[in-house]
Chain A
């Protein structure tokens, strides 16, 4: 089965004073219909820039795609004209952002904004669009949707606003939904509600989801496939089961060790010392090498390629598979 979205060697650069830096450095992955791809990484790893590149929403004059291709349903989005991209965006590719308050216009009612989004992409009259908007609000389980249509965003709680965003994103039945930290701003009980909702909607619509988050717990709950990013590069790619059971890249291993476990007693967390290199840092070798307890001269000298270590399990590490003692 061919992938719905295929990203190949994507490189995205940003202008800074007196030069350019590479935010995303030759990354590749693909998403199939009905599947969920999780992209996980910490601040500055390039995960959000990746989603903006796909959506064609890089800030004009500052960010540009310097290389690679983004193929969506057979069309290369990098080459697409602005009007063609605009027709696609919000229609066949939709996006949910982290902060539902800033993504909604405070001066218009929820209904107004939903109807506008629907009529932008579908040939419906106002009454039909309104009926469809109410139906969408009902599907994301907003209580008494008819009344909510006339509410302004500030009247709704954070969880409700995120539901409205999801309703808006799904109103044109997109084939691909990009969710950038969809639950990060929400409280944990509300997050559980939204995750449950996304699971149901995925089953109903069969859309592909690209889920971007820093939370490995959210990844474990929702994703089928996972891409781990570090400093603009993909360091590991595997099915969710394999990634959590047999992570290969030291960064993934350290990241999993940094999360306090609810079911285990731990004296200390396996913290990754040091910090992410700034994007301006020029590094010949592996970008994780300075923080990696397994690194040596080879790691500093050359960047490791993404290699298939087991079926559909890729990692970019010279040291993988790491040795360990089976008998203890």
Chain B
């Protein structure tokens, strides 16, 4: 493979007719797909495949416009997701992770690329067909304060999707009560308005609304980042329970790697609109390869005081996505960047389900801060025992 998808040149090529053929778009995304499938011991049926997704936002013409300049929000993102699995998209603000989530559901129209859901190309559907299809793809939003209609009661919020998709005819009230029960809220809350709830409760209502139409895939866009730590844990536990009970697949968009490690089965790390590393959770956290992943992991403040660690501090800020750097987009902040990185775009490739887009990842040693350290794993037995009291008594244990 000489070129990978998602480089600006290729991205601009029209990807209509022929690309609808799955085999037509061969590239890093393809190798990634094969790896992803072989990595799982028992391959789950493929549910979702993003194929070289591109989204460019034009900056507009006219008096204050900037000519043909575009924001390269997403530039060639490909991945697969099996039924009942969780794939996390992680990265810092502006890396395009939320845009990918919206492209998957066609809440935004992609500049190029395809989303295959259950063998069907969502990009080829008519708006009406897409609306019907959304029964199976739902979304949970970050801000539980602005994603619920303040003038609708909980019951109205929960029955609206049922009406739209003609579901549960004649027993919508019962269904709404069931949904509340599913997310751990009492049915007497049905007649209340969003302002009467706390952030965590609102997020539960948002989840119940997404579940109303019995979807197979939920795109969760930073579902816990607006919540307090103790409430965050409640919602994470709830999402995991629901996945186990209902066989849901999640695309989990987040910036918090600790939460991602807890919930995801596969992780894609994004930087400036591209996936720089993709792996199953265990390989990504135990053997991160991309220097950006190293930096992200070592930048997390650990709740372990006095622990000496040498951080990999990356310098500077994320470059402007209007004119991303040539070659490797991370090179401007990368401590290992060389001349070659400015000239050639590294393609996402790898083996055994672990892909990385870096020319020199084999030469970069894992920073000491990320070496698995046995001493830190000594459990605090007292703390462990006492914390067990907080686990639900009749709880579901994995």
Inter-subunit contact A266/B230 (CB<8 Å): no
By a CB distance below 8 angstroms, the chain B residues around A272 are 230, 233-234, 390
Q: A188-B92, A189-B92, A193-B313 are in contact. Are A268 and B237 (CB under 8 A)?
A: yes
B90 to chain A, nearest CB (A): 10
Inter-subunit contact B387/A257 (CB<8 Å): yes
A219 to chain B, nearest CB (A): 8
Whether, in the assembled complex, A262 has its beta carbon less than 8 Å from a beta carbon of chain B, the answer is yes
Whether, in the assembled complex, A214 has its beta carbon less than 8 Å from a beta carbon of chain B, the answer is yes
In Å, the complex CA distance between A172 and B300 comes to 31
In Å, the complex CA distance between A214 and B231 comes to 12
In Å, the complex CA distance between A259 and B299 comes to 16
Inter-subunit contact B301/A270 (CB<8 Å): no
Q: A187-B93, A247-B383 are in contact. Are A216 and B229 (CB under 8 A)?
A: yes
Inter-subunit contact A256/B387 (CB<8 Å): yes
Whether, in the assembled complex, B261 has its beta carbon less than 8 Å from a beta carbon of chain A, the answer is yes
Contacting chain A: which of B30-38, B214-222, B251-259? B251-259
Which of B201, B233, B313 has most chain A Cβ within 10 Å? B233
Inter-subunit contact B299/A189 (CB<8 Å): yes
In Å, the complex CA distance between A308 and B92 comes to 42
B112 to chain A, nearest CB (A): 28
In Å, the complex CA distance between A257 and B387 comes to 6
By a CB distance below 8 angstroms, the chain B residues around A255 are 229-230
The residue from B233, B295, B313, B373 contacting A258, defined by CB atoms under 8 A apart = B233
Inter-subunit contact B397/A267 (CB<8 Å): yes
Whether, in the assembled complex, A282 has its beta carbon less than 8 Å from a beta carbon of chain B, the answer is no
Q: How would residues 240 to 273 of chain A score, 1 for a CB under 8 Å from any chain B CB and 0 otherwise?
A: 1101111100100111111111111011111111
Nearest residue, chain A, Cβ from B379: A264
Nearest residue, chain A, Cβ from B236: A269
By a CB distance below 8 angstroms, the chain A residues around B317 are 157, 159-160, 190
The residue from B303, B387, B391 contacting A244, defined by CB atoms under 8 A apart = B303
Q: A253-B387, A254-B230 are in contact. Are A217 and B302 (CB under 8 A)?
A: yes
Inter-subunit contact A188/B296 (CB<8 Å): yes
Contacting chain B: which of A83-91, A146-154, A320-328? A320-328
Nearest residue, chain B, Cβ from A187: B92
In Å, the complex CA distance between A328 and B381 comes to 9
By a CB distance below 8 angstroms, the chain B residues around A215 are 301
Whether, in the assembled complex, B285 has its beta carbon less than 8 Å from a beta carbon of chain A, the answer is yes
Which A residues between 93 and 123 are near B, CB-CB below 8 angstroms? none
Nearest residue, chain B, Cβ from A156: B317
In Å, the complex CA distance between A270 and B390 comes to 5
The residue from B257, B379, B396 contacting A262, defined by CB atoms under 8 A apart = B257
The residue from B231, B236, B373, B383 contacting A256, defined by CB atoms under 8 A apart = B383
In Å, the complex CA distance between A167 and B307 comes to 28
Q: A159-B317, A190-B317, A260-B258 are in contact. Are A275 and B390 (CB under 8 A)?
A: no
Inter-subunit contact B230/A258 (CB<8 Å): yes
By a CB distance below 8 angstroms, the chain B residues around A322 are 386
B89 to chain A, nearest CB (A): 15
Whether, in the assembled complex, B304 has its beta carbon less than 8 Å from a beta carbon of chain A, the answer is yes
Q: A220-B305, A268-B237 are in contact. Are A191 and B299 (CB under 8 A)?
A: yes
Using A243-B305, A258-B232 as known contacts, list a sample of 14 further A-B pairs with CB atoms less than 8 Å apart, ordered by residue number in A: A42-B228, A188-B300, A189-B299, A219-B303, A250-B386, A253-B386, A255-B230, A259-B258, A262-B285, A263-B376, A270-B233, A271-B390, A273-B392, A275-B200
The 3 closest A-B pairs by CB, nearest first: A217-B301, A271-B233, A257-B387
A-B contact pairs, 14 of them (CB 8 A): A187-B93, A190-B92, A214-B228, A246-B383, A253-B387, A257-B383, A259-B303, A260-B236, A262-B261, A263-B377, A268-B240, A272-B233, A275-B200, A324-B381
